[in-house]
């Protein structure tokens, strides 16, 4: 997935940290650590290494002088988005905004309100508590913001190679999927304390994967699309990313027993199929894991 040269990336900026304040742990949270582990294992690593190589949060808060617009002054063109992780996250978020601004009202009759996006390095405060690379990317419902750690993306790059940019966009679209669920009023149904393959936690995660696929369906369409035409190979790579982070795959590859009763994100096959269901149809009703039946066809 590549940004289109000359496409209009507007002046909207992410925050580079600071975030809100609060004490809650994120619910319906990210695919972060799991994704990292999944990708890493996919590439033949083992968990011992990953623990050692995990970034250590340095506890340094990004100061006000570093936050705000200037931190992203280098993110201006498609080429910047294709080159720098933070620009890629910011532009991917703009692409996701663009798709949902049209699709959410059209398909669900709900006005789209853009989530906050915080791109930080190593550690920051969120409305859901302290965030770090160990947390992985996540969505915080309390301040309706998605958080992305560039140190985490450095690791993805090391492990994911050429697929890293695509995995990053998949992550952005997945976390924004949780924001859509917040706007729909369903995100709070997810409870990681009640796991299991048929749990609401899994249904919410699979729907976020499907919403990520739905974004990809529209992201390269129309004259003002921000992405170049998505290739079959890129779709295959995205599906493989989704598959890599399936609970069964992670459990199997980490040498543990596969225990569906402990799942919070869904099986590899279900995650892959969910992404494809959204990608192939572009329809929220194909992502209706909660069986609500409220979407326009």
Applying the rule CB under 5 A, the residues between 193 and 252 that interact with Zn ion are 205, 208
* Residue 234 and residue 16 in contact, taking contact as beta carbons nearer than 8 Å: no
* Residue 55 and residue 155 in contact, taking contact as beta carbons nearer than 8 Å: yes
Tell me the backbone φ, ψ of residue 126, rounded to 5 degrees: -120, 170
Beta bridge partners, 129, equal 126
Tell me the backbone φ, ψ of residue 146, rounded to 5 degrees: -100, 140
Output the smallest distance, CB 205 to Zn ion, in A.
Answer: 5
* Residue 127 and residue 140 in contact, taking contact as beta carbons nearer than 8 Å: yes
Residue nearer to Zn ion on the CB measure, 193 or 297: 193
Unique residue bearing structure tokens 């696929």: 213
Around Cβ 236, how many Cβ atoms within 10 Å? 10
Give me the helix-helix angle, 232-244 and 164-184, nearest 10°.
70
Output the smallest distance, CB 31 to Zn ion, in A.
Answer: 5
Residue nearer to Zn ion on the CB measure, 92 or 225: 92
Residue nearer to Zn ion on the CB measure, 42 or 204: 204
Span from 10-18, 28-36, 213-221, 279-287 in contact with Zn ion (CB under 5 A) = 28-36
- Residue window 29-58: x/- pattern of binding to Zn ion, with contact defined by CB under 5 A: --x---------------------------
Output the smallest distance, CB 249 to Zn ion, in A.
Answer: 16
Output the smallest distance, CB 224 to Zn ion, in A.
Answer: 28
Output the smallest distance, CB 128 to Zn ion, in A.
Answer: 13
Query: Where along the sequence are the contacts to Zn ion (CB under 5 A)?
Result: 31, 205, 208
């Amino acid at each position: 997935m590549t940004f289109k040269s000359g496409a209009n990336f507007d002046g909207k900026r992410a925050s580079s940290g600071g975030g809100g304040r609060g004490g809650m742990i994120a619910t319906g949270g990210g695919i972060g650590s799991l994704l990292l582990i999944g990708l890493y294992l996919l590439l033949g690593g083992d968990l011992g290494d990953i623990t050692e190589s995990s970034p250590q949060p340095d506890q340094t808060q990004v100061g006000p002088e570093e936050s705000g617009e200037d931190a992203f002054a280098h993110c201006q063109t498609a080429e910047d988005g294709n080159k720098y992780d933070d620009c890629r996250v910011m532009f991917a978020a703009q692409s996701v905004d663009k798709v949902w601004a049209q699709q959410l009202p059209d398909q669900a009759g709900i006005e789209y309100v853009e989530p906050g996006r915080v791109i930080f390095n190593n550690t920051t405060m969120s409305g859901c508590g302290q965030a770090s690379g160990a947390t992985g990317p996540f969505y915080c419902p309390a301040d309706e913001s998605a958080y992305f750690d560039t140190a985490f993306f450095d690791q993805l790059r090391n492990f994911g190679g050429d697929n890293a940019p695509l995995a990053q966009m998949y992550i952005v679209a997945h976390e924004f999927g949780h924001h859509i669920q917040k706007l729909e009023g369903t995100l709070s149904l997810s409870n990681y304390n009640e796991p299991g393959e048929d749990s609401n936690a899994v249904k919410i995660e699979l729907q976020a994967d499907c919403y990520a696929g739905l974004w990809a369906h529209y992201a390269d369409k129309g004259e003002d699309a921000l992405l170049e035409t998505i290739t079959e190979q890129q779709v295959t790579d995205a599906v493989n990313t989704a598959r890599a982070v399936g609970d069964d795959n992670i459990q199997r590859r980490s040498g543990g027993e596969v225990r569906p009763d402990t799942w919070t994100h869904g099986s590899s096959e279900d995650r892959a199929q969910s992404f494809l269901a959204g990608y192939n149809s572009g329809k929220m009703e194909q992502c209706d894991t909660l069986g609500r039946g409220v979407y326009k066809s």
